[in-house]
Amino acid sequence: MMGEGAAPALVLRDRTLSHNDLRESVGRLAAWLTQQVPEPGARIASWAAKGELTCLLPLAAARAGLVHVPINPLLKRAQVAYILSDSGSRLLVGTPARLATLEEGDIPLQCIVKSESETIVEYGKCSGLPESEADPQELAAILYTSGSTGRPKGVMLSHANMWLGAESVASYLALTSQDVTLAVLPLSFDYGQSQLLSTWFAGGCVVPLDYLTPRDVVKAVEKHDVTTLAAVPPLWVQLAELDWPKETSARLKRLTNSGGALTVDLVRRLRALFPQARLFPMYGLTEAFRSTFLDPSLVDSHPTSMGTAIPHAEILVIGDDGAVTDDGEEGELVHCGPLVAQGYWQDPERTAERYKPAPAASRYGGVAVWSGDRVRREADGLLYFVGRRDAMIKSAGNRISPQEIEDAAISTGLVAEAVALGIPDDRLGHAVHLVVRAAPGASDAIEELPRKLMQELPNFMQPKQIHWRHALPISPNGKIDRTGLYAELTA
């Protein structure tokens, strides 16, 4: 953290922490963590809304030599139980209401459970732990992200990944100690953590906000003199529909977007609504933090471009022959360099699929992330997104595994077959549609399935629409014809 001591660093509901306060609090919390979990490298999880602990833990865990596992507060008990088990977490800090939803067997035997309030009281009594001298390549965090198939996978981030990521973003956004960032994104996402770490790297101030309505965002920008706002396309759509007082919109100096592409129409609306703000469209991968950004000076003339590589990243477009593509030729986006994460936690098979030796053309070499995303590079060096190779559903900024929804539907016993698809949606980017065939004898399936899914899946995974079929189409290879279903639902 590079901020000047007395400058504000974190605005909480009941008080504001200066950068000196932040340093002291991180040290105290780190000391408390080592008392609870003395084993170096142990995983400690948090499951709570934005607040004192969720903002401090990324730094405190790193200082304590532990590995932070932030759990999305929107997840429900089944997903949380899996993450706790898979990560082998030794400590879970959460809000009492969330902790109360966990059932017997959800919490690993070796895992201590603490509420937010008791943790805050206890760590405040500790003497601070000095700054870490950890190897920059040591593991510092595991961020769980949904895969295109199966259970969530934990992306392993080192101290160097987090530090260089913060420095990179602070650099190209030109953040300063005068900036105030409104943190509206979940802190369990790499993009969400970047709100904190890049702002603090620059010596700026963070205002965490769990908003209920988009109007809350407008009010917070006004109240806290916010200069920087990061969001995903669905929120930008909602914010662009509001009437912003001119003096409020004028406070914003920079807008950043990731988690899905902005449409040309939305770019135009944002530029009209916030003419004084620099708009940064970005493309990122949890597996490599962030890959590209479009220079705001090019947004009006090239609104559909992904831009070029961020600092510390090397982005190559690789054809099927393993060589760099020619200008205008489609290929796979491959991310090389020190922002590349360390793979998936305890999952060598899936790690090997995505983390492979860098292409021969790379100046970094080593291991690269092969994104699976198809892009093209034009003669001016700007990149453009073509399509995804996998079947991930990206809805409201969330990456959703179709198989996780399908497994939940089938596990109810009400359906025999299920296919989850992401159908283009103006507000969500993609909406979840679930196509199902009822299980024999499940006479109440139509009424019961939505209720069961509400119990088992978080809100952002809920199907916008369930389509009932007597039979699902079969492709020539004997599998369910997902392409045909998608064509039918988008016709």
CATH of the domain at 415: 3.30.300.30
Q: Are residues 340 and 232 in the same domain?
A: yes
Q: Using 50, 70 and 90 to split pLDDT, how confident is the model at 2?
A: very low
Q: Residue range 294-302: average pLDDT?
A: 97
The answer on 50 and 113 residing in a single domain is yes
CATH code: domain of residue 84: 3.40.50.12780
User: Residues 38, 132: one domain?
Assistant: yes
Residue 382 lies in a domain: no
Residue 281 CA neighbour count, 13 Å, CB half: 27
Residues 330, 279 within the same domain: yes
Same domain, 414 and 365: no
Q: Do residues 293 and 319 both lie within one domain?
A: yes
385 within domain boundaries: no
Are both 343 and 225 inside the same structural domain? yes
Cα distances (Å, whole numbers) of residue 81 to 47, 78, 108, 127, 151: 11, 5, 8, 33, 12
484 shares a domain with 337:
no
Distance CA 168, CA 170 (A): 6
Residue 126 within a domain: yes
pLDDT at 471: 87
Last residue of a domain, one of 334, 350, 377: 377
Select from 377, 403, 420 the last residue of a domain.
377
**Strand order in 43-47's β-sheet?**
112-115, 91-94, 43-47, 67-70, 139-145, 153-158
Q: Say if residue 477's pLDDT is above 60.
A: no
Q: Considering the domain boundaries, does residue 257 fall inside one?
A: yes
- Burial class (CB within 10 angstroms; exposed 0-12, middle 13-18, buried 19+) of 352: exposed
pLDDT in tens, 260-277: 788 888 899 999 999 999
383 located within any domain? no
Model confidence, pTM: 0.86
Structural domain includes residue 3: no
Domain final residue, candidates 347, 377, 407:
377
Q: Are residues 289 and 407 both part of a single domain?
A: no
pLDDT for 1: 44
What pLDDT is recorded for position 482? 85
Range of 414's domain?
Answer: 393-490
Overall number of domains in the chain: 2
Give residue-wise pLDDT tens across range 122-140: 999 999 999 999 999 999 9
Residues 131, 252 within the same domain: yes
